[in-house]
Structure 1
Amino acid sequence: MSSITEPSGNSGSAPFFSKQATVAKPGFSRWMVPPAALAVHLCIGQAYAFSVFNGPLTKVIGITQSSADDWSLTSLGWIFSLAIVFLGLSAAFAGKWLERVGPRRTMFTAACCFGGGFLVSALGVYLHQIVLLYLGYGVIGGIGLGLGYVSPVSTLIRWFPDRRGMATGMAIMGFGGGAMIAAPLSVALMNHFRSATSIGVAETFIVLGIAYFISMTIGALAIRVPPADWKPAGWTPAATGQNKMISRNHVHIDQALKTPQFYLIWLVLFLNVTAGIGILGQASVMIQESFKNTVTAAAAAGFVGLLSLFNMGGRFVWASASDWIGRKNTYFIFFALGAVLYYLVPGFAASGQMALFVLAYCVILTMYGGGFATVPAYLADMFGTAFVGGIHGRLLTAWAAAGVAGPVLVNYIRAYEVAHGVAKADAYTMTVHIMAVLLVVGFVCNLLVKRVDDKHHMTDTQLAKGA
């Protein structure tokens, strides 16, 4: 284990939530940081499980069945959409603030917003005012999602310059796996609080809000940043000539937006996520229609759960692998293998080869999750670590855009095909072939990523001032 051997400066006299107060003291092990990051990411990963509340929220008044005054599913669908939008916006616009105040204050703010968002939503359920759910979980909770997502990642990258992919993979795997805890927990709590006069959602929101606030606050209190110029014992940064894709310099967050590399990596993430997120959202319906009268609804739910496992596992496995094969080569695999699998999937369905169909999508979902986990390390390689949290936050707008583009491609093209007489079992063929083309475009974008020009690098004076 690597531990701190440098003095921590005068952090003891600094305000508790200041960046200076989080500088690690001598003897601190960097392996204490991943659990702190997981304490946050496992909580905010609940977002992927919010759909378990949709059904009960349509029966808040009717209790056993929806009444005329109950909310519709279409109205409720905006809660999750708003949360993802504000995740992207907060991550993008709070980047400079994150780098200035440090991870502890940012993570605590995320805890207040995410936990508080549940409490506001609980009030919305109690008063039956959907605008409070939009404000609570959608806006306030969404801001908590964005701040909680980026702040631990940038800290991990600084602690693990030798294993950037593995470190970010651990945290972002937590985000992918948070739903696996949140879904059954939420259902169990709703069943516990259910009564003749309550569907149990408001009470569940209160418990979750408090529990998530506590867990995320523990993570915020435990987080530490390394002293300036710290590096792991025995590790020497590779010379630029040895690995041209890993920079030993730093690029300011605003200057990064003036480089072609930022926009190429933005497209790399956007295209990789677009190709996976639409399929993930329609997985249950897709496998039932592709293997009509063969796959039951229960089996389709199992397929969705399997995809979630591979999505989560891929975040750690691919990000860790990128430490050995390089970030650019990792994305080359994502795009090349993904394009081939998408091209082959309709044939697997047409010939009734369910095992190959399932296997193909499981591999695709590992690369979907791996894309999220690998991109922070890719950014650190290109732009340095000084402002990587803020740069990562701005890049997450690609996720927000893909969250719209992916489902639109899958849903609207399928609807068009069915409306023009194409059998439902064959309606996904054009969609997945379009996904294959998008991945080929992503391959080209990744190919064009080169080392950032020296003119964009910060000078030592600028770096010292943080300007």
Structure 2
Amino acid sequence: MARFLDRSRIVAAPGWSRWLVPPAALSVHLAIGQAYAWSVFKPPLESSLHLSGTQSALPFQLGIVMLGLSAAFGGTLVERNGPRWAMFVSMACFSSGFLLSALGVATRQYWLVVLGYGVVGGIGLGIGYISPVSTLIKWFPDRPGMATGIAIMGFGGGALIASPWSAQMLESFGTSTNGIATTFLVHGVVYAVFMTMGVLLVRVPAEGWSPPGWTRPVVASRPLITDADVSARNAIRTPQFYCLWVVLCCNVTAGIGILEKAAPMIRDFFADTATPVAVGAAAGFVALLSLANMTGRFVWSSTSDVIGRKNMYRVYLGVGALLYLVIALAGDSSKPLFIVCALGILSFYGGGFATIPAYLKDLFGTYQVGAIHGRLLTAWSTAGVLGPLIINAIADAQKAAGRSGPALYTTSLYIMIGLLAVGLLANELIRPVSDRYHEKPAEPAMEGQAT
């Protein structure tokens, strides 16, 4: 097994098509993107195990925390051992997390669900998320935004498959503890098989490979794009790293809170209208958000190749804040208006994830971009706690005070607008990385060198 997973076994032969790498990445990201469909499980878990909204969000929150931590601490291992090793570890952890969760629900031991989905599955999320990023950037130096967008859109699109699939299984197996446990069990087995396709297919380019006819572009006209390299150790010493950390954290917090609460949120907004939102329609709304999340990752990250990363984040953060303001002021007046604004916010949320690896490549080069990306994802860990906590805690408090409908979320929406404004300011502060952080030409760097 160790030999099978070794990086040297997956160096592509001459003539191997680089367009086979995105499908390999998608097989992993579509699976772990199931995390975005967690809100489908919240109502049945709350009902069968007598949990509050805050408690039922805990596995999802912890999963996102572990995603960031495992990506940060495992980023260098992924660079060193290669994408096949990383995808295998991700598959083993993510599938095992579902199996542990199934056992936890069946025995009514909710801590096992938290441990399985949140901790073990969360490690699978983090290692799987960064597993193809560095490889894709090396295969597509001519279109880094598009390449990472193709793969990372899979993570956003995972719920497009998982949401209706999970809802159908819960309808077939039931929403009792046995039905939920069976649904988790099926998830674990099916995702293991699906992710194995990526493990078998992925390849890395040979040393010195470049696309036919491609030459390294002149970077003088794009001041935020460097042709130098910065190690992961030096990257975390730069102000640019921390500005990007704030940008990502704010953008993710503003999106993930709505996404985790999506199904109950749209039902609450229109609960007192003549046409309330049914459970099935709410699950469909989650799937639509997943589609926007997925599409935004490809469309906006590809757009960033044309207009630049900094301008793209101005759109994500500035226009996103305006869309939140519309929901806060008039979201309950029209279902189409609410849905369109939510879709826009989630497209920017997803686009922010897909664009960040290319932003890192522009600022720090390709040398250890995977490890730097992993460290930056601690911002996602923080946001994974803050977003659901803000939305759920305020909604629970408002409900306890006797309020209902949109009033459960108004305060949270204004907080999200403030966070996006902070992220917009941090993006404006980003400047080119100082030469003193660059790798010296006399000190050639080995990819995957320990940091």
Q: What range describes the TM-score normalised by the shorter chain of this pair?
A: 0.7 to 0.9
Deviations along 1:237-276, one digit per CA (max 9) or x if unpaired, are 2222122222222211111110111100011111111222
Residue in structure 2 matching 1:185, options 150, 165, 178? 165
Decide whether the 8 Å contact of 1:348 with 1:354 is kept in 2.
no
Partner residue in 1 for 2:321: 339
Deviations along 1:32-84, one digit per CA (max 9) or x if unpaired, are 0000001101111122223444555568xxxxxx5xxx564565543333322
Q: Which moved more, 1:234-243 or 1:198-207?
A: 198-207
Cα–Cα, structure 1 residues 402 and 35, in superposed 2: closer, same or farther, change >3 Å?
Answer: same
1:440 aligns with 2:428: no
Partner residue in 1 for 2:22: 34
Cα shift at 1:463? 0.8
Partner residue in 2 for 1:83: 63
Structure 1: runs of 5 or more not aligned: 1-13, 60-65
Task: Please tell me the residue identity of whatever aligns with 2:273.
Answer: N
Cα shift at 1:147? 0.5
**TM-score normalised over the length of structure 1:** 0.85
How many angstroms apart in 2 are the aligned matches of 1:207 and 1:243? 49
Q: Which moved more, 1:119-128 or 1:360-369?
A: 119-128
Residue in structure 1 matching 2:440, options 459, 462, 466? 459
Task: Determine which structure has more spread, i.e. the larger CA radius of gyration.
Answer: 1
Q: Which moved more, 1:283-292 or 1:371-380?
A: 283-292
1:43 aligns with 2:31: yes
1:245 aligns with 2:224: yes
Cα shift at 1:165? 1.2
Cα shift at 1:341? 2.7
Count of residue pairs the alignment pairs up: 443
1:379 aligns with 2:379: no
Partner residue in 1 for 2:101: 121
Cα shift at 1:151? 0.7
Cα–Cα, structure 1 residues 188 and 286, in superposed 2: closer, same or farther, change >3 Å?
Answer: closer
Residue in structure 2 matching 1:449, options 430, 433, 450? 430
Cα–Cα, structure 1 residues 234 and 139, in superposed 2: closer, same or farther, change >3 Å?
Answer: same
Cα–Cα, structure 1 residues 213 and 248, in superposed 2: closer, same or farther, change >3 Å?
Answer: same
Partner residue in 2 for 1:110: 90
Cα–Cα, structure 1 residues 184 and 335, in superposed 2: closer, same or farther, change >3 Å?
Answer: closer
User: Once the two structures are aligned, what percentage of the paired residues are identical?
Assistant: 53
Decide whether the 8 Å contact of 2:247 with 2:423 is kept in 1.
yes
Cα–Cα, structure 1 residues 230 and 242, in superposed 2: closer, same or farther, change >3 Å?
Answer: farther
CA-based RMSD = 3.0
How many angstroms apart in 2 are the aligned matches of 1:204 and 1:300? 19
Task: Please tell me the residue identity of whatever aligns with 2:98.
Answer: F
SS in 2 for 1:365: helix
How many angstroms apart in 2 are the aligned matches of 1:423 and 1:57? 21
1:316 aligns with 2:298: yes
Residue in structure 1 matching 2:373, options 383, 389, 392? 392
SS in 2 for 1:297: coil
Deviations along 1:367-425, one digit per CA (max 9) or x if unpaired, are 11111111111111111122111111111111121122223334455667788898854
Decide whether the 8 Å contact of 1:46 with 1:182 is kept in 2.
yes
Cα shift at 1:346? 3.5
How many angstroms apart in 1 are the aligned matches of 2:43 and 2:403? 31
Deviations along 1:320-372, one digit per CA (max 9) or x if unpaired, are 1111111111001112222233334344347x355444322322221111111
Decide whether the 8 Å contact of 1:122 with 1:203 is kept in 2.
yes
Task: Please tell me the residue identity of whatever aligns with 2:146.
Answer: M
**TM-score normalised over the length of structure 2:** 0.88
Q: Which runs of 4+ in 1 moved over 6 A?
A: 415-423
What is the 5 A alignment of 1:52-201? 52-54=40-42, 66=48, 72=51, 76-189=56-169, 199-201=178-180
